[in-house]
Chain A
Amino acid sequence: MSTRRTDREGTGLSRKGLSSGTVGLLGAVVIGVSCVAPAYTLTAALGPTVAEVGTQLPAIFLVGFIPMLLVALGYRELNSAMPDSGTSFTWATRAFGPWIGWMGGWGLIAATVIVLSNLAAVAVDFFYLLLSQLLGNPAIAELTRNLPLNIATTLVFIALACYISYRGMETTKTVQYVLVTFQLVVLAWFAVAAFVHVADGTAFDATSISADWFNPFAVGSFSAFAAGVSLSIFIYWGWDVTLTMNEETTDPERTPGRAGALTVVVIVLVYLAVALATISFAGVGDGDLGAGNPDNQESIFAVLAGPVMGPFAILMSMAVLSSSAASLQSTFVSPARTLLAMGHYRALPEGYGRISPRHKSPGFATVAAALAAAGFYVLTRLVSENALWDTITALGLMICFYYGITALACVWYFRAQAFTSIRNVAFRFLAPLCGGVILLVMFVKTAVDSMDPGYGSGSELFGVGMVFVLGIGVILLGVVLMLVWSRLNPAFFRQEVITRGAASGR
């Protein structure tokens, strides 16, 4: 046949690389901050975390970073040794075999599906809040409490984000810079305005900052501590992206490390400033605006932005809405690609491994992720009194689960190399081992505690806490699906597709 094939993929990429594609230090920090989405994260997690640890919020925010850092270091090692679309799924399968690998993948998918539903819900809350602020009609903000309307709007948001992701459209550099700058400016504004109120004596419940706030050992109980840490894993979730950026950066040797460090400094400063400002302004009591009031905890900025920022509260609504909407769209990529990898390796029906010929995106998997997120949201919203709160807590649980598995997969996969150099001892053994153990301990502790019907927001199903039902229920559902699929198509589970392996010792 008179055909010749030239594949210019390489030149296509380098052409991109030479022009606008490479990311410098600032760009990498912007990407890191955008993945963390601080405005969304704070509004979703600040309340539930205060509920657990009270004034020790700053301490928990600081401590919570440690397991994230440890796990991310292991994550980076795995990513450079086995770059794969399945990430946790593929790595855990290589290290521990198909069964644990499958559950690692399921944990990642479940976590991202849960966060998708939460992102959409937060976006909807702030969408109505923004509308009410624009039109000067407070009644509109209350529309989000109208259950059918809330569910319908959330489903529309999920569908839109799914469509954009399916079409393979991505946020561009300029948009990302604008979104990130805007978020940081508004959060700083919020913190400064809150402190000004405290200084002027116009704060709701002025509470003076004490050194005790930074002492993690002052947290009342280990239960509260575990819950706080698993929530703060969520607030740093996404930060690890900076460490895994290699070929995209101008200086692969140094940029990712520096960007990771700089990103975490920015994020921690913002989190501390906002945490201190919030508690100083509102206290942790359960009064009208108190950060301890369960009504305020599911979305702290929706309540506090008005009293703190006055007419400029609309900026906070815009910041949270844009941050959660952008994350909603970009987060779709993650479960879709893991589903794609699982379909590709026949750990799921083949359809999941299909790539859309027109858009070159994991079409089927993206739609499946959207349906799961929509279903999860509807279920939670119908059963739970405080869906946002419970999903965030369940999410913390799920992230601990799959990050824990991933970190231990790193230790096990590299076991033959662990002691061949000091670098390996640190990055391939100690860091992921400590991180993985911490996360799995947090996971077990939180899971056991959450069986109590009074846990989290206090919603329950059949006498068991809602968080437990959501978190462990989803994991058990995964076990069932895995067993069913292993009967239907055992190829993956017989290791005919991916085999267990380990890095050879050198």
Chain B
Amino acid sequence: MRYTVGYTADGRGHDAVCLAVALARRQGASLDLVLVAPERSAYSGSHPSDSGFDDLLSGQLHTWMDQGLALVPEDVPARGEVVRAESDAEGLIRAAEDAGASLIVIGASAAGPGSRYSVGNVARGLLPASPAPGAPAPRSPRRPAPVPRLTCAVGRRAGADDVVSVAVTSARRRGLPLRLVALLALDAGREGAGAGGEAHRRLADAASSLAAGGQVSVETARGTSVEEAIDALAWDEGEVLLVGSSRLAQHMRIFLGSTAARILRALTVPMVVVPRTYESPGTGTGTAALQTQEGV
């Protein structure tokens, strides 16, 4: 299993590598550090046209790549790759597709202080078009912590089954406890508590049918807003949250709905956004082991 990591030689790139390392360790995944360099357009009208800049740039890219690979600890296999593309998002997606990556990790922190997450430009460009789950990395602690637990959050809307099944598969493969959370923002008004009970029941059903015997817990998080509901949850250090993409997304694509965007702002742990109708990491390639798991 391979993870594509969008690397830039700055704080964000560092965040992305740290998160990718943490996620990859339990999963036995290998990392592809991808540096995207701009494609030189002959039509840019720059004067005089000089191919020489490319030489200086590729020298710099190689130095950056060495620094990036040096961030990855010995026990996680990693390799570097320089991709030419018009935008960072396009380059990362192409690299992920070529490698058959099951996750794209990118740095998403904003330059300024404030919330740990603010979806950066690259993340904003990448997430809507990503064919694989995307993990926007928050500003990292110094050392990547191991992942102690997975949490999967679903809202009131239907269509959460995809993300729940991805969460269950991932948790089982990693041997991690799974927490299923129904997020309820009460400012939405009339549907209120009744809907909460209904969502909780659905999750409980899902939990029992999908993961019999596993360590699965079910919680309901309430708050006057999504942000508050998120704040109300207790988080373990290094825990990872899985959320589904909006129903507005195309098949196999992520659409960061308003709820997911708000979750992202309030969150203090890493998050993975799963594309709509995305089945499960690796099932697209049809390996026998994974199919067996799906069959359970």
Within 8 A of A (CB), among B44-95: 44-53, 55-58, 60-62, 64-65, 69, 72, 74-85
Give bound CA distance, A245 to B60, whole Å.
24
Is B48 touching A240 in the complex (CB atoms < 8 A)?
yes
In the complex, chain B residues whose CB is within 8 Å of the CB of A246: 51
In the complex, chain B residues whose CB is within 8 Å of the CB of A172: 41, 43
Known: A79-B50, A248-B42, A360-B38. 14 other contacts (CB 8 A): A1-B74, A3-B79, A4-B79, A7-B82, A8-B83, A9-B58, A9-B61, A12-B84, A23-B43, A27-B42, A83-B51, A87-B48, A357-B8, A361-B38
In the complex, chain B residues whose CB is within 8 Å of the CB of A334: 46-48
The residue of chain A having its C-beta at the shortest distance from the C-beta of B13 within the complex is A357
Name A170's contact: one of B43, B47, B50 (CB within 8 Å): B43
Is B69 touching A5 in the complex (CB atoms < 8 A)?
yes
In the complex, A238 has a CB within 8 A of chain B: yes
Q: Which of B43, B57, B79 is the most central at the interface, judged by chain A CB atoms within 10 Å of its CB?
A: B43
Is B47 touching A341 in the complex (CB atoms < 8 A)?
no
Surface stretch bound by B, among A214-222, A324-332, A464-472? A324-332
Give chain B's interface residues, CB within 8 Å of chain A. 8-10, 12-13, 37-39, 41-53, 55-58, 60-62, 64-65, 69, 72, 74-85
Given known contacts A171-B41, A173-B41, A360-B57, is B65 in contact with A5 (CB within 8 Å)? Answer: yes
Is A85 touching B50 in the complex (CB atoms < 8 A)?
yes
Q: Closest CB-CB distance, A300 to chain B, in whole Å?
A: 23
Name B42's contact: one of A8, A23, A360 (CB within 8 Å): A23
In the complex, chain A residues whose CB is within 8 Å of the CB of B78: 2-3
Give bound CA distance, A405 to B72, whole Å.
49
Q: Which of B9, B44, B65, B74 is the most central at the interface, judged by chain A CB atoms within 10 Å of its CB?
A: B44
Give bound CA distance, A12 to B60, whole Å.
17
In the complex, A333 has a CB within 8 A of chain B: yes
Give bound CA distance, A327 to B46, whole Å.
8
In the complex, A358 has a CB within 8 A of chain B: yes
Give chain A's interface residues, CB within 8 Å of chain B. 1-9, 12-13, 15-16, 21, 23, 27, 30-31, 34-35, 75, 79, 83-87, 90, 168, 170-173, 175-176, 237-238, 240-241, 244-248, 326-327, 330-331, 333-334, 337, 340-341, 344, 353, 355, 357-362
Is A330 touching B84 in the complex (CB atoms < 8 A)?
no
Name A357's contact: one of B9, B48, B75, B79 (CB within 8 Å): B9
**CB-defined A-B contacts under 8 Å, sample of 17:** A4-B79, A5-B80, A9-B82, A12-B39, A12-B85, A21-B41, A23-B43, A34-B45, A35-B45, A85-B56, A168-B38, A175-B43, A244-B48, A245-B42, A355-B57, A357-B13, A360-B61
Give bound CA distance, A237 to B37, whole Å.
29
Is B48 touching A3 in the complex (CB atoms < 8 A)?
no
In the complex, chain A residues whose CB is within 8 Å of the CB of B79: 3-6
Give bound CA distance, A176 to B37, whole Å.
22
